[in-house]
Amino acid sequence: MALNSCSGVPKWERRTRLFLCIFGLFLSFYALHVEISREKDPEYRAMCDLGDSVSCSKVFTSRWGRGFGLVQFFVAKDSALNQPNSLLGIIFYTLQLALGQSVSSRAAFLLVLSSWVSMAGSLYLAGVLAFILGDFCVVCVSTYVVNFLLLFTNLKRRTGLKAVKEKTV
């Protein structure tokens, strides 16, 4: 694995992170746009609505489109704490971009930790998508792929930083 000699970060990592986070932000902003548009106009048809069982707007406006479908059990459905999952995605990808600027071991730990949390959320929502909603959401599945690739990228970064630390000790 080719590393930047002084940082321990794989050479490909920064560009890959930038691409994945920008793509993740695009998907999250688009999902938020679809949800808001559908709330304003129930007849709104998103580009990702390809059929009855391939409909992202159906997924985004379902109970699982906000707070993973779980927050509403603890607070009111319209509570400020029950935010769209897409807003959580925007926060996650922004955090990944910001933490990715640091080469500290603490930042690497937080990148990996937040990626594992995103993967847990992705697996949960994929299960909801397949087994409860019986739908296929192109935008959703794309974010799951981005989250997995970010986890891989973050694990590689952490491994590279550990290797540099061991060489200097």
**Residue at token pair 């959401």:** 137
Q: What is the dihedral of CA 20, 26, 28, 30, to 10 degrees?
A: -150
What angle, 0 to 180 degrees and rounded to 10, lies between the N-to-C axes of helices 138-168 and 13-40?
Answer: 150
- 1 and 160 Cβ atoms separated by less than 8 Å: yes
pLDDT number for residue 147: 98
- 137 and 129 Cβ atoms separated by less than 8 Å: yes
Read off the pLDDT of residues 48-85 as tens digits, 9 standing for 90 and up: 999 888 999 999 999 999 999 999 899 988 888 999 99
pLDDT number for residue 164: 67
The runs of H, that is alpha helices, within 41-73 are: 56-60
pLDDT number for residue 5: 44
Bridge partners (DSSP) of residue 49 are 55
Read off the pLDDT of residues 104-152 as tens digits, 9 standing for 90 and up: 889 999 999 999 999 999 999 999 999 999 999 999 999 999 999 999 9
The answer, as to whether pTM is greater than 0.85, is yes
DSSP string across 27-44: HHHHHHHHHHHHHH-TT-
Higher pLDDT, 8 or 5: 8
Q: 8: pLDDT confidence band, cut at 50, 70 and 90?
A: low
Q: 3: pLDDT confidence band, cut at 50, 70 and 90?
A: very low
pLDDT number for residue 93: 98
36-41: average pLDDT: 93
